[in-house]
Amino acid sequence: MVGQTALTEAVYYILLSLVTPRHGYGIMQETERMSDGRVKLAAGTLYGAINVLLDKGWIRGVPGAEDSRRKEYVLTDKGREALTWELDRLKELVENGENVLGGEA
């Protein structure tokens, strides 16, 4: 993706968690689970990120969820593309680190 910048760890996990539709609390739980408790999203951080991701078109609300107090979100094709780009970037970082350190890590 031209102009793509590195994702923050929180955004990376939010996007990963939205491969399956989830509401805010579910995103928080899945992010914490995937990171073995290392990444804990505060509500303000999560909902700020959700608004940015909606604006970028990387996630969308699940139809029918607007009627509910618990809105659900899901990853879009554009979001999957951004997530795939980030995964490739992270793989390159690891590969370069291993090459330079010669497997010392």
- List pLDDT tens digits, range 78-102: 999 999 999 999 999 999 999 999 8
For residue 3, tell me if it sits in a domain.
no
Mean pLDDT value across residues 67-88: 90
Q: How many Å apart are CA 61 and CA 63, to the nearest integer?
A: 6
Q: Give residue 96's domain range.
A: 9-101
Q: Write the CATH number for 94.
A: 1.10.10.10
- List pLDDT tens digits, range 11-26: 999 999 999 999 999 9
Q: Give the count of domains, the chain.
A: 1
pLDDT band at 64 (very low <50, low <70, confident <90, very high): confident
This prediction has a pTM of: 0.87
Instruction: Show the tokens assigned to 101.
Output: 């350190």
